């Protein structure tokens, strides 16, 4: 297969570093959180040095995640704004799922699925943060009433499960749509990738809307 | 408490297996607190400190006989004093010894995420196995009586053990031994209920026609019971819950949500796997690359399509 010499920068270094800090926090939070959620997963607390360490470290990782995700929101909110064509794309999602992407309308920088992941995390992470503060026993155990803490624990669990399911979708989509992972590790995609998955974005890039520097020689 | 022996558990926190319960041929025990005979001397509080080697830091006088002002990791039982003006306009001094009720269906144990950190012995005593406690405070949320307290120094949860160490060698709890009026009794639960029945009859004959036993069925009954002169209004006694029950919020969190969540996560992962198996990866084709290069090339004056050898 011809190997294109020209590539398009999709994620800047700042984008990628910010993304992977978020990713590491999310995975650690998921493992430590699940260990405190279901008895059959309590063994995961061993990864953190035991139950006491897991309990102690989980909320701090959550603080880092919130700050890190705020960084992602600042960097990505504009390109994730919802447009009318997103609805049309969602209606044609079955073509995308069946690997018949030609059947779906052309997509800009992000498709509706990517936007949905972005915005649901933008909602869930603050919910997890604030419900987590309420049940952060060491510092906030006496701040709220017990009924409030009960509600917070339930909300925290439900939001976490939702976030984990969204995360699985996000990870699988990155594996399924080949060369997406490289976009987030090395930062670039090929023109063919952009043509196949984000045709309107490619046109924008070609017209120079995103600046000249986004098109460069393959490293 | 430490784990004295572990072959008579009937319940064990965060466990999906049947706990070891071979040595379970035991009587259910109960402590009966007859508030009508309590004189508020706090001998029980002192005995609890003495036997369990607990010393609360000396605090401040808060204008009440209650001292210290609340249960704490170092205060496992506390005399609570309520002044109640009855229908006749007379003052009644309602004194209640507060502490763990040792529920038959313990909310703390249901909420606890650490395997074996909370157990219930066959005799009904609910005990915290502190070296397994992770300090999360879920027991505080599970408890309908606001009993467990988390230590700020060792991050462990503490409460009355019903002197499980004494009971296991045939002694009564320290508070029972110290009580000078016989207001605190200890024995098999059925004996305590019989004795309570006699006391209630006596109270009724003396005008307390609402006298009764506090053994709330919503938590399956308790292994600490009260004889109350106003059993119709337990909340008169410094907020003893009228209808204590494990909160439905805790029930949902620790009940249906747990299997539902694992199934949901599992299904999401399986959906991914089987999508891969049936549809496979979404790969960029050579045509895509040609088209992509064409679009990019239209605006750029270097249309060389190169191929790697």
CB contacts, 8 Å: B258 with chain A: 37-38
Residues B39 and B151 in one domain: yes
Residues B27 and B163 in one domain: yes
A159 part of contact set with chain B, CB < 8 Å:
no
Tell me the per-residue pLDDT of B190-218, one tens digit each, with 9 for 90 and over.
999 999 999 999 999 999 999 999 999 99
Domain contains B304 = no
ipTM of model: 0.93
Give A144 to chain B, closest Cα distance, Å: 11
For the cut 60, the answer to whether the pLDDT of residue B188 exceeds it is: yes
Domain contains B3 = no
State whether A193 and B288 contact (CB < 8 Å).
yes
How far apart, in Å, are the Cα atoms of B268 and each of A47, A94, B262, B265?
24, 17, 10, 5
The residue of chain B with its CA nearest to that of A39 is: B14
Enclosing H/E stretch for B213:
strand B212-214
- Give pLDDT, residue B301: 47
Sign of the CA dihedral with B171 first, then B172, B173, and B176 last: negative
Give A121 to chain B, closest Cα distance, Å: 16
Domain contains B37 = yes
A17 part of contact set with chain B, CB < 8 Å:
no
A51 part of contact set with chain B, CB < 8 Å:
yes
Residues B213 and B281 in one domain: no
- Beta strand pairing status for B184-188 and A215-217? unpaired
Angle, alpha carbons A29-A32-A35 (nearest 5°): 140
Domain contains B231 = yes
Sign of the CA dihedral with B240 first, then B245, B248, and B249 last: positive
- Give pLDDT, residue B307: 47
- Give pLDDT, residue A213: 86
Tell me the per-residue pLDDT of A28-63, one tens digit each, with 9 for 90 and over.
999 999 999 999 999 999 999 999 999 999 999 999
State whether B258 and A175 contact (CB < 8 Å).
no
Enclosing H/E stretch for B227:
strand B224-228
Tell me the per-residue pLDDT of B288-304, one tens digit each, with 9 for 90 and over.
999 999 999 865 444 44
For the cut 80, the answer to whether the pLDDT of residue B3 exceeds it is: no
- Give pLDDT, residue B6: 76
CB-CB contact of A162 with B268 (8 Å): no
Q: Which residues of A are catalytic?
A: 170
- Give pLDDT, residue B4: 61
Domains of chain A as residue ranges with CATH: 6-217 (1.20.950.20)
Tell me the per-residue pLDDT of B56-111, one tens digit each, with 9 for 90 and over.
999 888 888 999 999 999 999 999 999 999 989 999 999 999 999 999 999 999 99
| Dihedral of the alpha carbons of B3, B6, B10, B16, in degrees to the nearest 10 | 90
State whether B299 and A208 contact (CB < 8 Å).
yes
Please state the rounded mean pLDDT for residues B177-194: 97
Instruction: Give the domain CATH number at B110.
Output: 3.30.70.20
Residues B81 and B190 in one domain: yes
Q: Which two tokens stand for residue B58?
A: 């000396």
Which residue range forms the structural domain that includes residue B281?
Answer: 257-299
Residues B101 and B153 in one domain: yes
Mean pLDDT across chain A: 96
Q: How many domains does chain B have?
A: 2
Report percent pLDDT > 90 for chain A: 92
CB contacts, 8 Å: B275 with chain A: 97, 172, 176
Tell me the per-residue pLDDT of A56-92, one tens digit each, with 9 for 90 and over.
999 999 999 999 999 999 999 999 999 999 999 999 9
Mutate: best of B18, B244, B261, partner A, most A CBs <10 A: B261
Residues B114 and B149 in one domain: yes
Residues B14 and B130 in one domain: yes
The residue of chain B with its CA nearest to that of A166 is: B268
DSSP character string of chain A:
----SEEEE-S-HHHHHHHHHHHHHHHHHHHHHHHTT-GGGGGGGGGGTSHHHHHHHHHHHHHHHHHHHHHHHHHHTGGG---HHHHHHHHTHHHHHTT-GGGSPP--SS-HHHHHHHHHHHHHHHHHHHHHHHT-HHHHTTTS-HHHHHHHHHHHHHHHHHHHHHHHHHHHHHHHBTTHHHHHHT-EE-HHHHHHH-HHHHHHHHTTTT-GGGEEE--
Lowest average pLDDT, out of A195-209, B7-21, B204-218, B264-278, goes to B7-21
State whether A208 and B136 contact (CB < 8 Å).
no
Residues B13 and B49 in one domain: yes
Tell me the per-residue pLDDT of A158-168, one tens digit each, with 9 for 90 and over.
999 999 999 99
Residues B127 and B267 in one domain: no
Domain contains B272 = yes
Domain contains B252 = no
Residues B125 and B76 in one domain: yes
Tell me the whole-structure pTM to 2 decimals. 0.93
Tell me the per-residue pLDDT of B119-147, one tens digit each, with 9 for 90 and over.
999 999 999 999 999 999 999 999 999 99
């Amino acid at each position: 297969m011809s190997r294109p010499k020209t590539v398009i920068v999709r994620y800047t270094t700042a984008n990628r570093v910010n993304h992977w800090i978020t990713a590491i926090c999310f995975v650690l939070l998921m493992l430590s959180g699940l260990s405190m959620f279901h008895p059959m997963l309590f063994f995961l607390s061993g990864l953190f040095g035991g139950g006491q360490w897991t309990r102690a470290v989980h909320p701090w990782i959550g603080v880092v995640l919130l700050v890190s995700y705020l960084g992602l929101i600042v960097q990505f909110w504009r390109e994730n704004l919802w447009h009318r064509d997103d609805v049309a794309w969602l209606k044609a999602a079955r073509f995308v799922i069946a690997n018949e992407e030609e059947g779906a309308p052309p997509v800009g920088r992000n498709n509706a699925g990517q936007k949905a992941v972005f915005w649901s995390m933008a909602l869930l992470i603050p919910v997890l943060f604030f419900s987590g503060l309420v049940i952060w026993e060491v510092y906030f155990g006496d701040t709220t009433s017990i009924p409030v803490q009960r509600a917070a624990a339930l909300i925290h669990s439900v939001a976490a499960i939702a976030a984990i399911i969204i995360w699985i979708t996000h990870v699988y989509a990155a594996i399924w749509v080949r060369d997406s992972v490289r976009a987030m590790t090395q930062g670039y995609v090929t023109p063919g990738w952009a043509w196949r998955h984000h045709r309107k974005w490619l046109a924008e890039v070609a017209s120079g809307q995103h600046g000249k520097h986004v098109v460069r020689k393959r490293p | 408490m430490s784990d004295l022996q572990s072959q008579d558990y009937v319940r064990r926190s965060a466990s999906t297996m049947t706990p070891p319960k071979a040595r379970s041929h035991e009587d259910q025990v109960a402590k009966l607190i007859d508030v009508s005979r309590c004189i508020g001397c706090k001998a029980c509080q002192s005995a609890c400190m003495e036997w369990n080697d607990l010393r609360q830091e000396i605090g401040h006088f808060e204008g009440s006989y209650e001292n210290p002002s609340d249960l704490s990791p170092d205060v496992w039982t506390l005399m609570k004093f309520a002044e109640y003006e009855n229908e006749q306009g007379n003052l009644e001094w309602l004194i209640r010894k507060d502490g763990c009720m040792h529920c038959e269906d313990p909310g703390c144990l249901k909420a606890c995420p650490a395997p074996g950190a909370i157990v219930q012995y066959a005799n009904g005593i609910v005990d915290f196995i502190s070296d397994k406690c992770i300090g999360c405070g879920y027991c505080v949320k599970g408890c309908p009586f606001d009993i467990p307290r988390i230590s700020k120094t060792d991050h462990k949860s503490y409460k009355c053990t019903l002197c499980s160490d004494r009971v296991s060698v045939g002694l009564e709890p320290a508070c029972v031994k110290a009580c000078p009026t016989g207001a605190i009794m200890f024995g098999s639960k059925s004996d305590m209920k019989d004795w309570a029945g006699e006391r209630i009859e006596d109270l009724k004959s003396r005008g307390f026609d609402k006298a009764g036993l506090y053994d709330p069925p919503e938590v399956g009954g308790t292994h600490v019971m009260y004889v109350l002169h106003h059993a119709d209004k337990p909340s008169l006694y410094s907020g003893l819950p009228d209808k204590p029950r494990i909160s439905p919020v805790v029930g949902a969190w620790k009940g249906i949500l747990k299997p539902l969540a694992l199934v949901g996560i599992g299904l999401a992962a399986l959906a991914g796997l089987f999508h891969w198996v049936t549809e496979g990866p979404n790969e960029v084709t050579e045509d895509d690359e040609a088209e992509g290069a064409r679009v990019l090339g239209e605006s750029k004056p270097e249309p060389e399509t190169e191929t790697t050898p």
